[in-house]
Amino acid sequence: MLNIKDYLSETAAKNGLVLDGLHFPGCALDPKKIKAIMIDEAPPKKPNDGFFSQSPKSSYVRTTLGLFRLADIDVTSVQDILDMGIYITTTLKAPRDKAKPLKADEIKAHIPLLEEELALFPNLKMIMLMGGTAIKAREKRDTCGQCI
């Protein structure tokens, strides 16, 4: 089992990134079991409100579980989603101020860490880009000669 938060924290530090303010998924998983990834925009301002929160009040968890249930997929936790081989992450690894427009450089700064994260999954079959920021990250990545 790989602890994603620990791995990404170490990777960020090795790449000279300041860890203060970065939020990583707090889960442990077997990377070989992941077949699909859902990439959202950014983590919430409160780390305990993210996708892998244990809090029943987490809006990220409630919304995600609700969407799966709308698709008639019976899930009671994000762990159920992980067990199905679906991993959820964010494009940005730091919360963003939604009152300000997101700049291309802000997105581009997070791409190397997202690349490291995606490279963990050797059996990946699908990446779902959930919104404009994830799509813009793909576009920025493509201009760098790489693609998702």
* 148 within a domain of the structure (yes/no): no
Q: Tell me whether residue 59 is in a domain.
A: yes
Whole-number pLDDT of residue 15:
81
Render pLDDT for 78-101 as a digit per residue (tens, 0 to 9). Answer: 999 999 999 999 999 999 888 888
Q: Classify residue 26: in a domain, yes or no.
A: yes
**Tokens (6 digits) for 107:** 């997105």
**Do the domain assignments include residue 76?**
yes
CATH number at residue 92: 3.40.470.10
Residue 114: predicted pLDDT: 92
Burial class (CB in 10 A: 0-12, 13-18, 19+), 129: middle
In a domain, 28, yes or no: yes
Q: Is the pLDDT of residue 37 over 70?
A: yes
pLDDT digits (tens, 9 = 90+) for 124-145: 999 999 888 888 887 765 544 4
- Provide the pLDDT confidence category of residue 5 given band limits of 50, 70 and 90: very high
HSE, CB side, 13 Å, CA atoms: give it for residue 83. 8
Q: What is the mean pLDDT of residues 11-23?
A: 88
Per the domain annotation, does 42 fall within a domain? yes
Report the pLDDT averaged over residues 10-23. 88
* Count of domains for the chain: 1
Q: Which domain holds residue 124?
A: 2-143
